[in-house]
């Protein structure tokens, strides 16, 4: 086992686009097809104009998860004569139906299990997380699974990290690593909570001047090799 893996007793993962694909367009297309609506890329662009600012407000603690989930579907709910709650629930069900682990996720988690404690801290929603962990067979690998919707605080708020630490038995902060794809929620949140961070930089984006992760990888296979360099991946 490498020195780097020896350094940590805990590795915390984000969920969406860190462990799992999150293809919102495909999920929406599937969900709307069940209402006999052909949801296209233009519809998705309009949806994202509403959805993206809501996520920023949610991560900044300005709105609740419920407000986000309902507001983004108001337009379509009126159009289809259903409630926003119903559409949101159907969307999360469709996302669960198309869910796949990212390349290298299963191999990484299988290799780490039993060698280090694994947890999840996600800003995603409860209805999707639990089904997804179950369907991918990951539900026994991660404990705790901390979901912002249940706590009422979202990354990068340190409160969600402190909640996780309490469930983890208050580990030494230098023995905890946070892995995530979002520089502003996962990495900044981890830094503010006093733990090491690894940025999963899928698209080779430049590092921000004011947010410096401890490590940076382009994919989960690179993370596997970083943590366990002697493993054949």
What does the alpha-carbon distance between residue 138 and residue 99 come to, in Å, rounded to a whole number? 13
Tokens 């507001």 appear where?
A: 71
Same structural domain, 16 and 111: yes
Q: Catalytic residue positions?
A: 14
Parts of the chain with a pLDDT under 50: 1-2
pLDDT given at position 184: 93
Same structural domain, 115 and 189: yes
In a domain, 10, yes or no: yes
Report the first-to-last Cα separation within the chain, whole angstroms: 14
The length of the chain, given as a count of residues: 233
Domain extent for 45: 24-98
Same structural domain, 76 and 110: no
Q: How many domains does the chain have?
A: 2
In a domain, 123, yes or no: yes
What does the alpha-carbon distance between residue 88 and residue 92 come to, in Å, rounded to a whole number? 6
**pLDDT single digits (tens) 84-102:** 999 999 999 999 999 999 9
Instruction: Name the domain boundary from 67, 98, 129.
Output: 98
């Amino acid at each position: 086992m490498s020195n780097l893996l020896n350094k940590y007793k805990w590795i915390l993962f984000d969920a969406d686009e860190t462990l799992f694909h999150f293809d919102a367009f495909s999920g929406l297309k599937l969900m709307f097809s069940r209402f006999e609506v052909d949801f296209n890329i233009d519809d998705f662009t309009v949806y994202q104009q509403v959805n993206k600012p809501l996520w920023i407000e949610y991560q900044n603690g300005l709105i609740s998860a419920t407000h986000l989930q309902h507001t983004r579907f108001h337009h379509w709910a009126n159009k289809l004569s259903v409630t926003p709650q119903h559409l949101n629930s159907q969307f999360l069900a469709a996302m669960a139906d198309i869910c796949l682990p990212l390349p290298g996720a299963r191999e990484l988690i299988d290799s780490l299990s039993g060698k280090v404690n694994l947890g999840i801290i996600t800003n995603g929603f409860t209805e999707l997380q639990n089904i997804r962990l179950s369907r991918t067979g990951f539900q026994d690998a991660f404990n705790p699974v901390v979901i912002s919707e249940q706590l009422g605080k979202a990354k990068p708020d340190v409160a969600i990290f402190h909640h996780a630490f309490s469930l983890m038995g208050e580990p030494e902060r230098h023995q905890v690593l946070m892995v995530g794809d979002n520089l502003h929620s996962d990495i900044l949140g981890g830094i503010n909570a006093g733990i090491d961070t690894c940025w999963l930089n899928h698209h080779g984006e430049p590092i921000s001047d004011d947010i410096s992760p401890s490590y940076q990888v382009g994919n989960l296979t690179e993370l596997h090799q970083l943590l366990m360099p002697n493993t054949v991946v």
